Amino acid sequence: MRSHTRGINRFAQVIRFFSVSRLLLWTLWVIYRERKRVLRARERGNYEVQPNIEVLIDVLIAFRQTALKLGVLMIKMGQFLSTRADLLPERALEVLSSLQDEVPAESFEHVVGVVEDAYDKPLNEIFSDFERKSTAAASLGQVHKAVLATTGETVAVKVQRPNIYQLVTMDLSSLRFVIWIITKFIDTSAIDLWGFYREFRRTVYEEVDFVTEAANAQRFKEMFKDDPTIYIPTIYDQYITPRVLVLEWIDGIKLNDYPAIEAAGYDRLEAASRTVRAYFYQFFDIGFFHADPHPGNIFIKSGSPPDAPVIAFLDFGMVGSITKNVKRSFREMFLSIITRDAHMMTTALSRLGFIGENANMTSIERAITLLLDQYYDVSLGQMRDLDMRDVMQDVVKLLYGQPFSIPAQFAFAGRAVSTLVGVSTSLAPNFNFIEVATPYARNFLGLGSGGTRETIDQVLKQLLEVGQLLVKLPRSVDRLITQIESGQLEVKLANQPTASRNRRRSRRGGPAAANMAAGAGGTGGGSISLFFVFLASLGSGVYLNVVHLLTPSWFCLGLAAIVALGLLLRR
């Protein structure tokens, strides 16, 4: 059967290359210039300097308008930039957020061509009915309601836009060329443009393959098979192709269609709770999550009981995953927040890939300290009263004002959380985000196992009181031992005779030896100090083991063993 779709001719390719390159060059240059100016000011300790927000907004409005004309990858680029709080300030991000809702649909003739090419059959032999108007349109494809000719089942048919692979390849080449130009002539250490390109390229190629999306959907179906509160549509295996996907049609109400939800009598608070719980289950328990939770992809399934709305998820092209190593670093971040340890948080962020090699770590630690101080002494009960949108704004400001670079998986996770906060609090203004998150976070941190009877509030309160000392102890001990050994720390013992000090001075010879002896208070003084270090390390290790913080527990116990060995050798 002859193909219905035609490739893009050479002249059109050249015109598009120049149009895309010009758009990207100007947009990325302005983004880089404004952020670089802010970062330089932050390094000098000047926190008053702000980006020229009006210039950024003008550039991004122009980008959005041109992207809608060029379509496909430029729309996806705008959506990708809208997740990058490390590249754009909050008001600028809002300019691009509407791209999700403004994507125009392709003509019906194009849709017919793609479907018939995919199945090598006329459209009416596959579907007895196929609606001409799309029910949803996105940057890479659109959805039409249809009826299968073989079974009479109502289905959703997801169809790729025409020439999608050719357009993606062309526009990625343009993006690569623009980044090469910028990095050739400008110091781009403030923004990892090549990392940005690699992440964007990877996510686009994953999303453009409908076979991968079908596998994602089937994995989610398995994940929630025993959860009656969540519904995942069935994928029709015999109709899976790289360019067309057929799945179960879901009748329902979009999660942001508040008048319809009210008219149907659904419990809005319960709908918000079930949606957020489903996401925390994905984040904390499974480590595999739906990365595009805008309201068009989340429905209340028709026929659900009013007091027990069933939440249906759609569109599984964009997903994220959290590995074991990432989970370990996340635990360190949680602990650093609890103990107000900016150094630990900076180390965890660096390990996760948020901080580049040449970043000013001192400046970053200072900024994180300011943020942690803002929320220090806030109890878990008080956290329930915090406005999560305000907290998210503080985090966005931190990301933009420091040399952070958000890896793609975390950009998607951040956008997912941000969208969830907005959707859930708008759906049910009295919805408590923190209260729903607490049990998942407790299990994630390992505080809910092993028979401990303490509640999360009690554990967090205790950690707030002693955790800061325990986590910072290894660095404090290291500094203490260094000072003792180098004579920088002066310890005066009350009844130590002067003659004793003079004998040690003459034995070891010279002023340096005398200073070291006097500074350390003699071998006995150093041993006493190390003995206290041994007791503190041992007590810390035992305590941390009791509250199931195993990594810092073994560290403290190991430190106690090393100090004990040192004391034995001194004898």
Instruction: Look up 292 and say whether it is catalytic.
Output: yes
- Residue 522: what pLDDT? 46
pLDDT digits (tens, 9 = 90+) for 97-139: 767 656 788 889 989 999 999 999 999 999 999 999 999 888 8
Record the pTM.
0.68
Question: How many residues belong to the chain?
Answer: 571
- Residue 393: what pLDDT? 67
Tokens 């390992």 locate to: 446
283 pLDDT more than 70: yes
3-state secondary structure of 156: strand
- How far apart CA 172 and CA 178 sit, in angstroms, is 10
Cα 519–Cα 522–Cα 528 angle in degrees, nearest 5: 100
Six token digits for residue 427: 């759906």
- Residue 475: what pLDDT? 52
- Residue 80: what pLDDT? 78
Six token digits for residue 331: 């635990």
Instruction: Give the list of residues 6+ apart from residue 346 with CB closer than 8 angstroms, or none.
Output: 355, 361, 364, 365, 368
- Residue 218: what pLDDT? 96
The per-residue pLDDT of the chain, averaged, comes to 77
| DSSP, residue by residue, 194-246 | HHHHHHHHHHHHHHT-HHHHHHHHHHHHHHTTT-TTEE-PPB-GGG--SSEEE
Indicate the pLDDT class of residue 550, thresholds 50, 70 and 90: low
Six token digits for residue 180: 């090469």
pLDDT digits (tens, 9 = 90+) for 6-38: 667 888 888 989 999 999 999 988 998 898 888
pLDDT digits (tens, 9 = 90+) for 371-402: 777 766 554 455 555 666 666 667 777 777 77
Q: Which of 39-53, 234-248, 441-455 has the lowest mean pLDDT?
A: 441-455
Tokens 């090393």 locate to: 562
Question: Catalytic one among 292, 315, 385, 457?
Answer: 292
pLDDT digits (tens, 9 = 90+) for 502-548: 444 444 444 433 333 333 344 455 566 666 666 777 776 666 665 45
